Amino acid sequence: MRRSLHLVLLAAAVLGIGSSLAAQLRIAEIPYDSAPDVLQGLPDDVYIGEAAGVATNSQGHLFVYTRTGSPQLTLGTERHFHRGNGAARLFEFDRAGKYLREIGQGLYGFVFAHTVRVDQQDNIWTVDEGSGTVVKFNPQGQVQMVLGRTPEYLPMPGFDRVSSGPPPKPTGPVGTGVAGDEFDRPTDVAWDKQGNIFVADGHVNSRIAKFDANGRFVKSWGSLGTAPGQFNVPHSLVTDAQGNVYVADRENRRIQVFDNDGVFKTQFINVGTPWTLCITPGPNQYLYSSNSNDPREFDRDGEIYKMELDGRIIGRFGRAGRLPKEFSTVHAIDCRVDNQLYVGELTSWRVQKLTLKTK
Amino acid sequence: MSWELSMRSRVGLCFVGSLLLIASVGAQQSAPGDGQAAVQGARPNAVLKPVSVEGGNWRHALASPKAPQIPWRSDPNFLTLPAGMLLGETMGIARNSRGQIYVFTRLGDASRLLQFDQNGNFMREIGRNSYAFTMAHGVYVDAQDYVWTIDEGTNTVIKWNPNTARPEMILGRRYESLEGLGPAIAPIPPPHPYAFNRPSDVVVDAQGNIFVADGYNNNRAIKYDKNGRFVASTIGTRGREPGQMHLPHSITADNAGNIYVGDRNNGRIQVFSNDLTLRTMYEHVGSPWAVCISPGPHQYLYSSNSNPDQNLAAVNAVTGEIFKMELDGTVVGKFGKAGKQLGEFSTVHDIDCRNDNEILVGEIVAWRAQKLRLGATGATGAKGATGAKDATRTSNTK
């Protein structure tokens, strides 16, 4: 066991990873405080489940896209229809954390929450892993655009009486992924200054899809694999002011950076398993990345890294755990105000507001 | 720890078909000679033939047949629900320090956690529409009046703050719905310190350590500290060796921090020290569906040899009673029998014994909870009077 560890370390050093490992050992701990009970005033029969997505708008309002149940299947029908039926819900809170309203209650595509993000015009975007849709709401909460389509029914091999079955999945040469917005368990959405839309797609297709501001498909890149430009669960993505795209390539334990056209630029391999990313606005941008603990594991990982955009680590904070200030599988970070973060967690059903104490 | 697997008692079990039970209990030395004599409970694991017939997951033939009867009566309808609401399968029932009652039931599309005042009047519901609830299994109230729910559908054990009615700690994780319907033959995933597979019960000791019975598939008891960090676990494999389990269905603790696990399908209560080292086993009280230890300086252990929920007449005839024991396993007495009437038990699934002489039980098959007054022969309860005729049983051993 120890020998193999040495071998791994040796190999890592040979590959030039050793220096970054050594750097990681010297990473500064960033002191911080947490306000764990951020969300107040929920109606008695409304509960936050897994806080998969959190995001603020320019007013400081907080949006939480949460897993609150399981989709329901209609039995006794020729096909197996399924509906979210309250399994994913989107709530809005004011800047003090007071409950304001629910958006899109019972919406067709609200099946299994994954992410919510707010763009520069305060439009609210949800990414639903269960329905395979990315939905744009205007600030009033009306649907403005839908990318992807919810499958009409749930294919159940061996039980389907429909001879045609599900449509065959489009395939193409390695690197092209699938065209258009046929998402399969998408995970995240981001935009550049021109309004181009980037979708991380996702748990199955292992690619990034780019659309113009009108939702027209432009291109996509990536496939399942470990080479630069390939992904194994692209789980989160953000863009910087120059339009570069940062992808949390979770199962490959790296952050990949692409230019606006998807050309690979660099990768960061020194921040553990990146579950979720956030990039601050303003002239001096910072990148946050969470090395979230596996939902079944609380004895290691869990910390969040603060980085320069070139990958240099400024510091780290937090660890896995269930107490306030500890992290239970962070799944979303909002960093609209630098050093004042909201984090949403999977294995504790809460949102924490963190204040980093930097010099 | 070495165990003498001596054949101190040999029990022959013979099933004819799946109904007719002929139990030749040769274990009379572990049964009382006269009605009041103590039953020695603690003994090493006897070498027993596994019962392999269909549905044969009962070991009621081992239950002490001559334990004295404790008189009891039932208060019918002691819970008053909101108009139009009826209980479903009553999986969990527990009182807090003020005597308020929590009932965890399977109702409608999910689990429902209902709170009643000391008089049984409905107060409020907690957790409606929450991510925690699909298939209720148990509820527990700790010394600080935190309410703990065990949901075998969401694989979670949740600590609810009684003041805010919001979750304060979540143990385990609900399966992602995207995992969908797995093939029935899919192997059960290996146990993990922080994940459950159909957990069944929880108890908190005086130091705040949390003990989870996990449960239908992982067959183990787990200890966490008060912050939810893993400390220890039992072996975690299904079997009949000491420390192994076959459906740990209920768990409780005494003042000294010993942990009692109702090892249901093995027909025994396993007693562990606080670090989950096995100390002894009680194999003379049938299948422990529910175990409960009363508070106070002199603690008693209650264990329900519940009648299985298949409603088999021959089995119901010899099951259903609740045993009252000293902590060392000595049987003090027993009460109840299988049946559908008030005062009878339809598969007791949970016991609350915070008040030693006023036991609450929740039943699966009867969709109800009962309040039982022990030793209450001829007593007239405020509500009990109407059902006294059917609900009163007297001792037949005195």
Contact B347, B364 (CB under 8 A): yes
- Contact (CB<8Å) A44/B128: yes
Chain A's closest residue to B177, CA to CA, is A70
Q: Which residues in chain A have Cβ-Cβ distances shorter than 8 Å to B186?
A: none
First to last CA, chain A: 42
B286 touches chain A (CB under 8 A): no
The amino acid sitting at A335 is C
- Contact (CB<8Å) A70/B166: no
Contact A88, A67 (CB under 8 A): yes
- Contact (CB<8Å) B130/A154: no
CA distances (Å), origin B104, targets A58, B101, B126, B144, B368: 43, 10, 10, 19, 11
CA distances (Å), origin A81, targets A96, A152, A154: 40, 7, 6
Taking 60 as the threshold, does the pLDDT of residue B5 lie above it? no
Q: Which residues in chain A have Cβ-Cβ distances shorter than 8 Å to B132?
A: 47
Q: Pairing relation of β-strands B136-141 and B147-151?
A: antiparallel
- Out of B129, B165, B227, closest to residue A321 by CB: B227
Please name which of A292, A304, A281, A287 lies closest in space to residue A247, comparing C-alpha atoms: A287
Of residues B15 and B357, the one with the higher pLDDT is B357
Dump pLDDT digits (tens) for B185-208: 677 777 899 999 999 999 999 999
Residue B233 and residue B103: Cα distance in Å, rounded?
Answer: 29
- Out of A44, A154, A296, closest to residue B194 by CB: A296
Taking 70 as the threshold, does the pLDDT of residue B55 lie above it? no
Residue B284, exposed/middle/buried by CB under 10 A (0-12, 13-18, 19+)? buried
Q: Which tokens hold the place of A5?
A: 């560890």
B317: Cα separation from own chain's centroid: 20
Which pLDDT score, from 0 to 100, does residue A174 have? 45
Query: Alpha helix (H) ranges present in chain A?
Result: 2-14, 18-25
Which pLDDT score, from 0 to 100, does residue A160 have? 54
- Out of A68, A299, A323, closest to residue B131 by CB: A68
Query: Alpha helix (H) ranges present in chain B?
Result: 313-316, 388-391
Taking 50 as the threshold, does the pLDDT of residue B41 lie above it? no
- For residues A213-239, give the mean pLDDT: 96
DSSP letters, A298-312, are -SS---EEEEETTS-
- For residues A28-47, give the mean pLDDT: 94
- pLDDT confidence band for A167 (50 / 70 / 90): low
Q: Which residues in chain A have Cβ-Cβ distances shorter than 8 Å to B168?
A: none
Chain A's closest residue to B156, CA to CA, is A347
**pTM for this one?**
0.85
Which pLDDT score, from 0 to 100, does residue B14 have? 28
- Contact (CB<8Å) A111/B128: no
- pLDDT confidence band for A25 (50 / 70 / 90): low
Of residues A59 and B57, the one with the higher pLDDT is A59
- Contact (CB<8Å) A154/B180: yes
Q: What is the CA radius of gyration of chain A?
A: 20
The ipTM value here is 0.87
- Count of pairs with CB atoms under 8 A, one residue in A, one in B: 74
Phi, psi of B114 (to 5 degrees): -115, 140
Dump pLDDT digits (tens) for B88-107: 999 999 999 999 999 999 99
Residue B169, exposed/middle/buried by CB under 10 A (0-12, 13-18, 19+)? buried
Number of helices (H), then strands (E), belonging to chain A: the values are 2, 26
Q: Which residues in chain A have Cβ-Cβ distances shorter than 8 Å to B178?
A: 112, 129-130, 185
Please provide the size of chain A in residues.
359
Contact B333, B67 (CB under 8 A): yes
Which pLDDT score, from 0 to 100, does residue A176 have? 46
Residue A10, exposed/middle/buried by CB under 10 A (0-12, 13-18, 19+)? exposed
- Out of A45, A67, A295, closest to residue B131 by CB: A67
Element (H, E) at A313: strand A313-317
Contact B221, B227 (CB under 8 A): no
- Out of B128, B178, B192, closest to residue A296 by CB: B192
Q: Which residues in chain B have Cβ-Cβ distances shorter than 8 Å to A38?
A: none
Which pLDDT score, from 0 to 100, does residue B324 have? 96
- Out of B134, B167, B177, closest to residue A349 by CB: B167
Taking 50 as the threshold, does the pLDDT of residue B23 lie above it? no
Contact A163, A177 (CB under 8 A): no
Which pLDDT score, from 0 to 100, does residue A75 have? 80
A109: preceding bond cis by omega (within 30 degrees)? no
- pLDDT confidence band for B66 (50 / 70 / 90): confident
Residue A225, exposed/middle/buried by CB under 10 A (0-12, 13-18, 19+)? middle
- Rounded to a whole number of angstroms, the distance from the CA of B112 to the nearest CA of chain A is 12
- pLDDT confidence band for B52 (50 / 70 / 90): very low
- pLDDT confidence band for A18 (50 / 70 / 90): very low
- Rounded to a whole number of angstroms, the distance from the CA of B171 to the nearest CA of chain A is 8
Chain A's closest residue to B196, CA to CA, is A296
User: Is the dihedral angle over the CA atoms A127, A131, A132, A136 positive or is it negative?
Assistant: negative
User: Is the dihedral angle over the CA atoms A120, A125, A129, A131 positive or is it negative?
Assistant: negative
- pLDDT confidence band for A26 (50 / 70 / 90): confident
Dump pLDDT digits (tens) for A71-84: 888 887 777 788 88
Taking 60 as the threshold, does the pLDDT of residue B390 lie above it? no
Residue A300 and residue A113: Cα distance in Å, rounded?
Answer: 26
- Out of B166, B177, B229, closest to residue A298 by CB: B229
* CB < 8 Å from A in window 56-115 of B: none
Chain B's closest residue to A88, CA to CA, is B131
Instruction: Compute the mean pLDDT over every residue in chain B, rounded to the nearest whole number.
Output: 81
Dump pLDDT digits (tens) for A315-355: 999 999 999 999 999 999 999 999 999 999 999 999 999 99
Please name which of B232, B229, B207 lies closest in space to residue B221, comparing C-alpha atoms: B232
Residue A202 and residue A117: Cα distance in Å, rounded?
Answer: 16
- For residues B342-348, give the mean pLDDT: 93
The torsion angle over the Cα atoms of residues B323, B327, B330 and B335, rounded to 10 degrees, is -20
Interface test with chain A among B129, B163, B185, by most A beta carbons within 10 Å:
B129
Interface test with chain B among A82, A347, A351, by most B beta carbons within 10 Å:
A347
- pLDDT confidence band for B72 (50 / 70 / 90): very high
| Helices A2-14 and A18-25, packing angle to 10 deg | 110
- Out of A47, A156, A321, closest to residue B130 by CB: A47
Contact A48, A346 (CB under 8 A): no
- Contact (CB<8Å) A70/B177: yes
- Rounded to a whole number of angstroms, the distance from the CA of A204 to the nearest CA of chain B is 12
- Rounded to a whole number of angstroms, the distance from the CA of B175 to the nearest CA of chain A is 9
Taking 90 as the threshold, does the pLDDT of residue B358 lie above it? yes
Q: How many CB atoms lie within 10 A of CB A124?
A: 25
